[in-house]
Structure 1
Amino acid sequence: MNSTLLQIASKYVQWLLILVAVIALFRGHNYPGGGFIGGLLAGLAIVYRGFAFSMSEARKQLPLSPEIIIAIGLFFVVASFMPALFTGSPLMKGEWYKLQLGFTELKLGSPFIFDIGVFFTVIGVAISFVFSLNKKE
């Protein structure tokens, strides 16, 4: 598509979608759907850029290929199982750790690591799917 208005809007809407995706990811690790919804929104931001300019432009903007993004996501999913394996807990049981950061405390848990994995996997699958639809044989 070659719409000037769409191209101008995409520069702002893309970052807004990524911001909402990250908010959904961080909010969602205590509620259902955080990593999945966030991944769809982040994937949509990249696809929106492709519709505004071109899919090759959207590919150039990505620092990693969709396959590598999927692999990173699967790595985090597998990494979320590791605390349970090392502690002898049932698989997928949430393990929580507290990190003291100055005056505040950060609670990091294996469900959040799993959500990060889902987030990256969904981004990779979504953009890989749309890019494959746009390939010229």
Structure 2
Amino acid sequence: MNSVLLQIATKYLKWILVVFALIALFRGHNHPGGGFIGGLLIGLSVVFQSLTSNAQSAKDKLKIQPEGYISLGLLFILISTLPGLFLKDTFMTGVWFSIPFPLLGELKIGTPFVFDIGVFLAVIGVTLLFFFTFNKVAKWK
């Protein structure tokens, strides 16, 4: 599409979607759905970008291809399950680590957050893979 208005709106809307996706991700490790909703929002930002030009140029601008996002997400999900096993507890038990920062205090990171990051990355990959595959089958430009 060659709409100047759509191109300008997409430039700003893309970053608004990224900010809301990150808010959903960081909120989601304490509440359900953060990684999933955040991943969908990031995927939607790429879809909006492809509406202004074409899907192939949007796919070429990606630093990581959709399959890479899926693989990286599954790796994070696998990593989030391991601390519970290493501590001789049940599978997928939540474990929290404290990382001390000078002048800032402690940052607590838990395995549920690592799991949420994995879901976030996997959903980005699946959303983009679905969109690019559907776009290729439909032969839209």
TM-score (norm: length of structure 1): 0.96
**Offset, 1:49:** 0.5
3-state SS in 2 of match to 1:99: strand
Look up the match of 2:100: 100
Q: 1:14 & 1:56 partners in 2: Cα distance?
A: 18
Q: Kindly indicate whether the alpha-carbon contact (under 8 Å) linking 2:82 and 2:92 is maintained by their aligned counterparts in 1.
A: no
Could you list the runs of 5+ residues in structure 1 that have no partner in the other structure?
Answer: none
Which residue identity is paired with 1:73? G
**Structure 1 consecutive aligned stretches of length 4 or more whose deviation exceeds 3 Å:** none
Look up the match of 2:128: 127
Identity of aligned residues (%): 51
Look up the match of 1:56: 56
3-state SS in 1 of match to 2:109: strand
In the TM superposition, what whole-angstrom CA distance separates every residue of 1:3-28 from its partner, at most 9, and x where no partner exists?
11111111111111011101110111
Bigger shift: 77-86 or 96-105? 96-105
Look up the match of 1:36: 36
- State the number of aligned residues: 137
3-state SS in 2 of match to 1:13: helix
In the TM superposition, what whole-angstrom CA distance separates every residue of 1:95-129 from its partner, at most 9, and x where no partner exists?
01111111221110000000000000000000100
Look up the match of 1:118: 119
- Report whether the alignment pairs 1:109 with 2:110: yes
TM-score (norm: length of structure 2): 0.93
Look up the match of 2:11: 11
- Report whether the alignment pairs 1:90 with 2:90: yes
Q: 2:96 & 2:59 partners in 1: Cα distance?
A: 37
3-state SS in 1 of match to 2:99: strand
**Offset, 1:93:** 1.2
**Offset, 1:2:** 2.0
